């Protein structure tokens, strides 16, 4: 398949920014575009299943220079037993080369890529591989997966776009997220905990003290956004952050059936205000 040339990953851009985040207004614009992307693939009956900043690429506003790939690394493909490869197996693989951007390029339009974890709404898998810190509660508790996983991950990704970090953190064991769900979002259904203990998903009650460093969602947004910055340099004010908190509260809900649908999110002030700003420009 031959696809259009895209620019850098959003994750690569934020890694070069102070506090690992975009300017507030640009973050708001990109989160709105992500919502549109999810709405489109949903109309095709598809769930992305792996939304995070590494799978969001900027479109190129214009090729000021043609990127070269002379330094690309090639790897020969061969069978371990030395026998010939089967028909259709490539002779070599090319290591991905990331487009190197500079400050002269306008990066404000994005595309959602990498559908390796995607599934049709009517045929969900038993599990998906996505960054552990972004695991939705239904994946943590081993419940059936639905299209609501994209809503959860959109919420977490929007949070990261604005604040520079994910709302939850886990590396080796996604069950470490459960106390954080309780502290940040206000609770996990007791029945979920009891069912997880009976099924062996949990071996003991989650330790609430493991989330001592976390705040409620709204408090954390306010604190994380202003952290290390002179308030006069911030382009989102407290009202904007309150609107963001309201928006994320509609997505970051432990029970997937209670999360907002795409139509509701499209009409939320966080998205509507941004759409109006784009029209004025």
Is residue 99 one of the residues assigned to a domain?
yes
Residues 127, 150: Cα–Cα separation, whole Å: 14
Is residue 4 one of the residues assigned to a domain?
no
Is residue 139 one of the residues assigned to a domain?
yes
- Residue 222, domain extent: 10-280
Residue 252: CB atoms within 10 A of its CB come to: 24
CATH number at residue 138: 1.10.510.10
Tokens of 169: 């953190």
> Is 150:38 a contact under the CB 8 Å cutoff?
yes
Q: How many domains does the chain have?
A: 1
Cβ partners under 8 Å of residue 202, min gap 6: 175, 178, 193, 196
Beta bridge mates, 75: 93
Tokens 């609501």 identify what position?
148
Is residue 2 one of the residues assigned to a domain?
no
Is residue 3 one of the residues assigned to a domain?
no
Cβ partners under 8 Å of residue 73, min gap 6: 94, 95
Beta bridge mates, 46: 120
Is residue 1 one of the residues assigned to a domain?
no
Is residue 102 one of the residues assigned to a domain?
yes
Q: Rounded to whole angstroms, what are the CA distances from 19 to 22, 73, 129, 155, 164?
A: 9, 32, 27, 19, 6
pLDDT in tens, the chain (281 residues): 778 888 889 998 898 887 888 899 999 999 999 999 999 999 999 999 999 999 999 988 766 555 565 666 889 999 999 999 999 999 999 887 766 666 667 788 999 999 999 999 999 999 999 999 999 999 999 999 999 999 999 999 999 999 999 999 999 999 999 999 999 999 899 999 999 999 999 999 999 899 999 999 999 999 999 887 777 778 999 999 999 999 999 999 999 999 999 999 999 999 986 555 555 55
Strands of 50-150 (E only): list them.
56-58, 74-76, 92-94, 110-112, 119-120
Q: What are the two backbone dihedrals, phi and then psi, of residue 140, each rounded to the nearest 5 degrees? A: -60, -40
Is residue 64 one of the residues assigned to a domain?
yes
Residues 112, 102: Cα–Cα separation, whole Å: 21
């Amino acid at each position: 398949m031959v696809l259009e040339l895209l620019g850098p990953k959003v994750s690569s851009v934020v890694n070069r920014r102070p506090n690992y985040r975009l300017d507030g207004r640009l973050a708001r614009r990109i989160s709105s575009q992500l919502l549109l992307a999810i709405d489109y693939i949903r109309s095709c009956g598809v769930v992305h299943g792996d939304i995070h900043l590494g799978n969001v690429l900027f479109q190129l506003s214009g090729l000021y220079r043609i990127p070269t790939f002379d330094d690309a690394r090639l790897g020969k493909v061969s069978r371990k037993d030395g026998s010939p490869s089967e028909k259709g197996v490539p002779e070599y693989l090319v290591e991905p080369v990331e487009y190197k951007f500079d400050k002269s390029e306008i990066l404000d339009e994005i595309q959602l890529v990498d559908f390796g974890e995607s599934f049709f709404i009517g045929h969900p898998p038993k599990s998906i591989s996505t960054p552990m810190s972004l695991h939705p509660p239904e994946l943590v508790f081993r419940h059936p997966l639905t299209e609501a996983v994209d809503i959860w991950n959109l919420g977490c990704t929007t949070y990261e776009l604005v604040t520079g970090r994910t709302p939850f953190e886990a590396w080796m064991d996604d069950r470490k997220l459960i106390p954080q769900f309780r502290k940040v979002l206000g609770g996990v259904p007791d029945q979920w905990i009891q069912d997880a203990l009976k099924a062996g998903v949990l071996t003991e009650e989650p330790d609430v003290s493991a989330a001592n460093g976390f705040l409620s969602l709204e408090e954390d947004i306010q604190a994380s956004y202003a952290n290390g910055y002179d308030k006069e340099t911030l382009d989102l004010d407290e009202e904007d952050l309150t609107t963001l908190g309201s928006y994320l509260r509609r997505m970051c809900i432990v029970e997937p059936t209670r999360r907002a649908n795409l139509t509701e999110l499209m009409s939320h002030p966080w998205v509507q205000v941004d759409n109006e700003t784009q029209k004025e420009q």
